[in-house]
Structure 1
Amino acid sequence: MQTCHKLLALCLPLTLALSACQQKTVDAPPTVIDNFIDVYENISTDDLRTHIKVLASDEFEGRLPTTVGEQKTLDYLLKEFKQMGYQPGNGDSYLQPVELIEMTADPQMTLTIGENNFVYKQDMIASTSREQSKVELKNSELVFVGYGVNAPEYNWNDYQGLDVKGKTVVILVNDPGFENPKGDKFQGTTMTYYGRWTYKYEEASRQGAAAAIIVHETKPASYGWSVVANSWSGPQYGLVSQNGNADRVAVEGWLTTEAAEKVFADAGLNFAEQKAKAIATPYNQNLGLSASVTINNNFKKSTSYNVIATLPGSEAPDEHVIYTAHWDHLGKDENKEGDQIYNGAHDNATGTAAAIVMAKAFSELTITPKRSTTFLIVTAEEQGLLGSKFYTQHPVIPLDKTVANINMDAMNVLGKTKDIAVVGMGKSELENYLEKAAKRQSRHLVQESRPQAGIYYRSDHFSFAKQGVPALYAKGGDEPIDEATAAYRKRTKVIVTGCYHQVCDKFRENWDLSGIQQDTQLLFEVGYDIVSSQDWPKWNAISEFQRK
């Protein structure tokens, strides 16, 4: 494609040259220059395939943090970024150390509430984030605080006029909007951050509670009790903190619905009726009971690493767009018969490979964008977004100089789609850039298929959102581009879904990677447009997040 300057240099008639320029302005976005198009089109499935195969190979042993698999992964990433000419993102280093703590609660515990003794994993789960070998909750007064939400923008505060210092709060899962599908409260069935268990423990800690217990219900939680019982038992990971997490509630727990019904009955109350009141309006109720539990902990500390690589901008190098992907997975289980390696091909060798390929695209631009482009490949996402959480708590690039975050996690291996699923749709102006880039591919934006599940709060972009940085998470939707892709998609989706966090999440030669290619090109253009401009995308009014 020749530019207007080239046409003029060829001494074409002035009217023809002006006509060409005018047509170019109408038909194509300003970012469509020869080099951009060449780089965009060079994003290939072959490159994606190469990196996914390596990262998901048995040699990398499932990429568990602090293992030999981590070292192999770090070596591979650093080699790639250095070859592409990226500069170390953390001073003179490409690495940012992340101090982790692994805590394992002794399962021999009982939660006593009133006259009831609840059994670990069967009726309840209890743990602590505090770095202590023993945590005791003794006869702590029990208070029902509805959804446990303090949201001024929704004029909702379940803690209004309540002092819960030293007490145990009982909290409903999700937020008040879930039971109001027409959207007259919060965002209807689309979960806000106020519906996530992480928020509920954080808010209870801010309120000074001694313990916080969430009542599990399958539909509003979007997962069954077995997920709670299995995910919250065994080793739990966190970040090492200066105060040993002393500012967190001492006990973080869950109750089954059946156990909660017993507790409310002992208090002379009906659980369903109390829940109905909590749905209707901010609500709290003293239950007149006390809770006791003792948690014995074993814990150990270790160090893992985030990878940070930067391509400096030409005019505003201190302003950055940060792309994120997590390199880690679940490692290997030597007690397992047969295949022992959790290769994590889909989750998240695909996102890491996309980051490498996208980094290559930026490095091949002959005209350096105004702003810097940084790739942050984080550790310990599978343990609770810990790598990205640590980064945003200890940012190498000031958060007020971080223009936007774009995240890549479990990319689309189901072939090309006509739609783009925006996770947490409507949250920020980043979707305007996404919509513009989508037009190049004749695609349209749609809301994610299960907004009630709160997926926006479950990947690394969320760590940036919590700190006020606009963050985008989008990938191929559910509408295949043609009938052949639909047939392939139907066959492959069963395997991909069934292999989530299983040893069968392996690279498959028959994977159609054109969907990842499509989305990588899309997100490349979004980032390119932002680093080439002076714009500062903002959060939309309905978002829970704003610049801090």
Structure 2
Amino acid sequence: MTSPLATLAAACGLSATLAWSQAAAALTVDEQVQKDLHFHIAELAQDTYAGREPGTAGEEMTIDWLVEHFAALGAKPGNGDSWLQEVAITAVTTDPAAVLAIRGDAFNADWAYGEEMMVSTQQQVATTGIAASELVFVGYGINAPERGWNDYADVDVTGKTVVVLINDPGFATQDPALFNGNAMTYYGRWDYKYAEAARQGAAGALIVHETDAAAYPWEVVRNSWSGAKIGLTAENRHRDKLAVEGWIPLAQAQRLFAAAGRDYAADKAAAAHADFEAVALGGMQASVTLNNNLSDRMSHNVAALVPGSQHPDEVIIYTAHWDHLGVRPGDAGDNIYNGASDNASGVAGLLALARQFLTGGERPERSVLFLAVTAEESGLLGSKFYAENPLFPPEKTVANFNMDNIAAGNLGRTHDVAVVGYGNSELEDYLLRAAQRQGRVVVQEPYPEKGSYYRSDHFSLAKVGIPALYLTNATDSVEHGKAWGDARLRDYVANHYHKPSDEYDPAWDLSGAAQEVLLLLEMGRELTSSRDFPEWRDGVEFKAAREASLTP
């Protein structure tokens, strides 16, 4: 039986939600958006949510909050009569006692989990590993026939462990004619490198971490790859994946190459050329056993819908991931990864947008879906599941607008707005018009070498052909200038990204985040009242999938 106290608490909570759902008449739209952002970030980034790890009590609290507040605004369930889309996941937690043993004729090293290496697996099995697996350096680990590039040419890596450089040759050489020059391609991403190594038959892969090339320090690798490794539950338990997916710091790689009688810098330089040939590392072998704790869980995407008044079968999708990294019991001190900016801010943006679509006058002619997805931090899993199991088919999905980490650095208002994947689609034409009305300019993302286009949930939808736009933090601060904004963003990445210190502060200046939300609102409203289907630009890798989906 529910206690009177619990009933009172529930009633008070409902009353608070209903009060929040009523927009303050005296506030401008901009002020209301900022108020909504503060309200939801403050809630979702509390310690009681325990870092919003999928499949935990923190998830239950998160999805309850989202459903309650979408409903209070007047949205409808987005999955039939349900607000939720079930996403079956398996958490694989590797025992941090794992030791990576490297052996050679005159070399004997046991590298410890954490500072000297990180290892994990996507295989959903209790025990896996490699034993006396020959180490082979395969450069950037890229097989790209369309670019005349194959680092695996004329080498058999079956059962071996490949050592791979992060990023791609374009970044290494800064040659704009090579790959995409300074801007990372998908070939530079760690998930591509592991997947290609598995396709080549390797047993394991060790990526060499360099801070500039990876675009984040070793601490991000350590924090992101410890704890539970979450994947979509697979019937084959992902036995087709690598037994060991690992990272090693630059210093360890240099020691390894020297022990194999090679020069790391020289081999790295050689790998930046198309005629590079993979080399065995002097008989060096690697062994490690991964003892894993497995937990099959049910996670959820949250889907809230504003049905279109004229064309309800056509949809504009706004996405943001609700999850973060949870709790790391082994960490000293604060071990809750609250993810206030990453990505309570993006989820707050969904709710702020929902308010505007539901209270801003006439109902949109096309439907609008607000999709808060799970397990982005584990490899874009929630959006991947949605792309494979869409609530609206891709050919009826007009566009996707993604919000991720929109409060990073708390830069305030900026003169510019940055596009990740600049030049990809006609959605930038809509952005240009909206930005001009804000008195702002559109620029390329500040750090294209980070490969951010392949690191958030819009990428899952882009891969099935849906034009997707992802904005990121521009740095030309209205109040303080560009140098200040650059320094603020660098500080966030170095000291707060994927760290427990990504916590909410009521003093945050969210006016810049509100600028982004208002741009996305204006673009969405324009698209909902038109018959346009924006296209990818010529030469963009997602264009063929879009054209195929639109072909009768």
Query: Shorter-chain TM-score category?
Result: 0.7 to 0.9
Asked if structure 2 preserves the Cα contact closer than 8 Å seen for 1:216 and 1:255, the reply is yes
SS in 2 for 1:179: helix
Corresponding letter in the other structure for 1:525: E
Asked if structure 1 preserves the Cα contact closer than 8 Å seen for 2:411 and 2:475, the reply is no
Corresponding letter in the other structure for 1:362: F
Residue 229 (structure 2) pairs with residue 232 (structure 1): no
Q: Distance in 2 between matches of 1:120 and 1:110?
A: 7
Report what 1:52 is aligned to.
41
Q: Distance in 2 between matches of 1:497 and 1:136?
A: 32
Segment drifting more, 129-138 vs 103-112: 103-112
Q: Distance in 1 between matches of 2:249 and 2:485?
A: 40
Residue 90 (structure 2) pairs with residue 93 (structure 1): no
1:512 positional shift: 2.5
1:405 positional shift: 1.5
Q: Distance in 2 between matches of 1:494 and 1:260?
A: 27
Asked if structure 2 preserves the Cα contact closer than 8 Å seen for 1:124 and 1:256, the reply is yes
Residue 437 (structure 2) pairs with residue 440 (structure 1): yes
Corresponding letter in the other structure for 1:120: A
Rg larger in structure: 1
Q: Distance in 2 between matches of 1:362 and 1:49?
A: 19
Asked if structure 1 preserves the Cα contact closer than 8 Å seen for 2:174 and 2:181, the reply is yes
Report what 1:128 is aligned to.
121
1:274 positional shift: 2.6
Segment drifting more, 506-515 vs 337-346: 337-346
Task: Flag the 1:315–1:42 CA change in 2: closer, same or farther, 3 A.
Answer: farther
Q: What are the within-5 Å matches in structure 2 for residues 123-522 of structure 1?
A: 123-265=116-258, 267-287=260-280, 289=283, 290-332=285-327, 341-412=336-407, 413-482=410-479, 498-522=495-519
Task: Flag the 1:205–1:501 CA change in 2: closer, same or farther, 3 A.
Answer: closer
Report what 1:23 is aligned to.
none
Q: Distance in 1 between matches of 2:416 and 2:510?
A: 16
SS in 2 for 1:284: coil
Percent of residue pairs identical: 49
SS in 2 for 1:44: helix
Asked if structure 2 preserves the Cα contact closer than 8 Å seen for 1:112 and 1:293, the reply is no
Task: Flag the 1:254–1:113 CA change in 2: closer, same or farther, 3 A.
Answer: farther
Report what 1:22 is aligned to.
none
Report what 2:101 is aligned to.
111
Segment drifting more, 107-116 vs 75-84: 107-116
Task: Flag the 1:245–1:362 CA change in 2: closer, same or farther, 3 A.
Answer: same
Task: Flag the 1:265–1:304 CA change in 2: closer, same or farther, 3 A.
Answer: same
Report what 1:16 is aligned to.
none
1:422 positional shift: 1.4
SS in 1 for 2:406: coil
Corresponding letter in the other structure for 1:532: S
Once the two structures are superposed, residues 294-318 of structure 1 have per-residue CA deviations (whole angstroms, 9 ceiling, x without a partner) of 3222222222211011222234322
Unaligned runs of 5+ in 2: 1-26, 546-552
Once the two structures are superposed, residues 381-430 of structure 1 have per-residue CA deviations (whole angstroms, 9 ceiling, x without a partner) of 23333322332233332233323221112224332111002123222222
Task: Flag the 1:58–1:262 CA change in 2: closer, same or farther, 3 A.
Answer: closer
Corresponding letter in the other structure for 1:52: I
Asked if structure 2 preserves the Cα contact closer than 8 Å seen for 1:43 and 1:521, the reply is no
Once the two structures are superposed, residues 476-521 of structure 1 have per-residue CA deviations (whole angstroms, 9 ceiling, x without a partner) of 4111223599999989996897444444444333222222222111
Corresponding letter in the other structure for 1:305: H
Task: Flag the 1:272–1:505 CA change in 2: closer, same or farther, 3 A.
Answer: closer
Q: Tell me the TM-score normalized by structure 2.
A: 0.83
Task: Flag the 1:195–1:367 CA change in 2: closer, same or farther, 3 A.
Answer: same
Of 511, 524, 529 in structure 2, the residue corresponding to residue 527 of structure 1 is 524
Q: Distance in 2 between matches of 1:396 and 1:158?
A: 39
Task: Flag the 1:129–1:344 CA change in 2: closer, same or farther, 3 A.
Answer: closer
Q: Distance in 1 between matches of 2:458 and 2:384?
A: 9
Q: Distance in 2 between matches of 1:392 and 1:491?
A: 35
Once the two structures are superposed, residues 9-63 of structure 1 have per-residue CA deviations (whole angstroms, 9 ceiling, x without a partner) of xxxxxxxxxxxxxxxxxxxxxxxxxxxxx99668532333333333334554443
1:241 positional shift: 1.2
Asked if structure 1 preserves the Cα contact closer than 8 Å seen for 2:155 and 2:278, the reply is no
Residue 536 (structure 2) pairs with residue 539 (structure 1): yes
Q: Distance in 2 between matches of 1:387 and 1:235?
A: 16
Corresponding letter in the other structure for 2:542: F
Task: Flag the 1:450–1:475 CA change in 2: closer, same or farther, 3 A.
Answer: closer
Unaligned runs of 5+ in 1: 1-37
Task: Flag the 1:532–1:43 CA change in 2: closer, same or farther, 3 A.
Answer: farther
Q: Tell me the TM-score normalized by structure 1.
A: 0.83
1:204 positional shift: 1.5
Task: Flag the 1:39–1:225 CA change in 2: closer, same or farther, 3 A.
Answer: closer
Corresponding letter in the other structure for 2:55: T
SS in 2 for 1:303: strand
Corresponding letter in the other structure for 2:425: S
Task: Flag the 1:232–1:81 CA change in 2: closer, same or farther, 3 A.
Answer: closer
Asked if structure 1 preserves the Cα contact closer than 8 Å seen for 2:475 and 2:486, the reply is no
Q: Distance in 2 between matches of 1:270 and 1:493?
A: 31
Segment drifting more, 258-267 vs 395-404: 258-267
1:233 positional shift: 3.5
Q: Distance in 2 between matches of 1:500 and 1:265?
A: 33
1:244 positional shift: 0.6
1:123 positional shift: 4.0
Q: Distance in 1 between matches of 2:38 and 2:313?
A: 33
Please tell me the root mean square deviation across aligned C-alpha atoms, in Å: 3.2
Q: Distance in 2 between matches of 1:58 and 1:274?
A: 46
Residue 76 (structure 2) pairs with residue 84 (structure 1): no
Q: Distance in 2 between matches of 1:370 and 1:152?
A: 44
Of 52, 62, 68 in structure 2, the residue corresponding to residue 63 of structure 1 is 52
SS in 2 for 1:510: coil
Asked if structure 2 preserves the Cα contact closer than 8 Å seen for 1:332 and 1:340, the reply is yes
SS in 2 for 1:390: helix
Task: Flag the 1:546–1:338 CA change in 2: closer, same or farther, 3 A.
Answer: same
Q: Distance in 2 between matches of 1:61 and 1:257?
A: 33
Asked if structure 1 preserves the Cα contact closer than 8 Å seen for 2:53 and 2:59, the reply is yes
1:72 positional shift: 2.4
Task: Flag the 1:432–1:39 CA change in 2: closer, same or farther, 3 A.
Answer: farther
Report what 1:33 is aligned to.
none
Q: Distance in 2 between matches of 1:236 and 1:391?
A: 20
Q: Distance in 1 between matches of 2:482 and 2:253?
A: 47
